[in-house]
Chains A and B, each alone.
Chain A
Amino acid sequence: MNALWLLIPAILFSTTGELFFKIGMNRVGSFEFSGNAIRAVLPRIVLNPLIWVGFIGFGLGAVFWLAVLSRVPLSLAYPILALSYFVVVIEAWLFLRERVTWKRLLGVAIIVVGVVIVGMGEG
């Protein structure tokens, strides 16, 4: 089995972690970025189970990502990881019902091309 398949759980776990961060922050609500407001809101963030699920998603994604890196050159794996940008936007559209226009998808596609070019220069 090609180790690149491990990129699928790596991407799905970390992007879903991001999704849970967003759901958690929708519940917590927006806050002003002042010292007092942050001190007031921080306990609600830290105690929010959705935020914890997000962190667990990141952790699991990182484990799979490290497994990929131990088997595949970075210059191959990293450009593929750029697909995460699409996956996050699609998940936000599917699960959060954010409005995703063709223009936004075009912008994401351009970003992915740029990230792939940067990534191919690594290693």
Chain B
Amino acid sequence: MLTPDQLEYDERAHAPHQTRAAIFKSLLLLIPAILSSTTGQLFLKMGMSQVGDFDFTLDAILAVLPQVIYNPFIWIGFIGFVGGTIFWLGVISRAPLSLAYPILALSYFVVVLEAWLILGEPITWQLLVGVGIIFVGVVVVGLSEENRDEVKE
């Protein structure tokens, strides 16, 4: 087990000091961050289903752009993304990036769930297995944040 004085690098030199309890508390903000951005994704999908598919040429994009911009679902989708970003910035203002970013992969679970519940898209065994493995990885990453609070100073 490493102690702080054995560290070659110290992220605290760059980030303000946070106790592990404060870091884990900030990780709770990942819940609204993920819910907000995945729900935004869902609304973008519903909006684009209304707009319909388009070719990726300049003419086609210019033709479809007004429909995209005036679609209320698209607007709700963007609001979801902005909200998700604010919560995410709140998370990384405290938590190390190498801890918080991998946990964002829980978004896959939420997207699969929302697509199934709301859009009626099928859930396959492959999706369930993949999401289960992601959960295991997230737990391992979470456990990798060691408690150094009692040895500081």
Contact = CB atoms under 8 A, between A and B. Distances in A.
Interface of A: 18-19, 21-23, 25-26, 28-31, 33, 38, 42, 45, 51, 66, 70, 85, 88-89, 92-93, 96-101, 103-104, 106-121
Nearest to A106: B140
Contacts of B138: 107, 111
Contacts of B2: 99, 101
A111 B97 contact: no
B105 A22 contact: no
Contact of B102 (A70, A89, A97): A89
Contacts of B145: 104
Chain B interface SS verdict (over half): helix
A117 B146 contact: no
B72 interface: no
> Which of B18, B92, B136 has most A Cβ within 10 Å?
B92
A57 B87 CA distance: 19
A97 B16 contact: no
A99 B131 contact: no
Interface string B129-153: 1111111111111111110000000
A100 B98 contact: yes
A66 B54 CA distance: 14
Interface of B: 2, 7, 9-11, 13-16, 18, 22, 26, 29, 56, 86-90, 92-94, 96-99, 101-102, 105, 108, 112, 124, 126-127, 129-146
A96 B134 contact: no
Contacts of B89: 21, 25, 45, 51
Given A98-B96, A99-B9, A104 B144 contact: yes
A21 B102 contact: no
B130 A29 contact: no
4 closest A-B pairs (Cβ-Cβ)?
A: A110-B137, A107-B140, A114-B133, A117-B130
A29 B137 contact: no
Contact of B143 (A38, A66, A103, A112): A103
Contacts of B9: 93, 97-99
Given A85-B102, A109-B137, A101 B131 contact: no
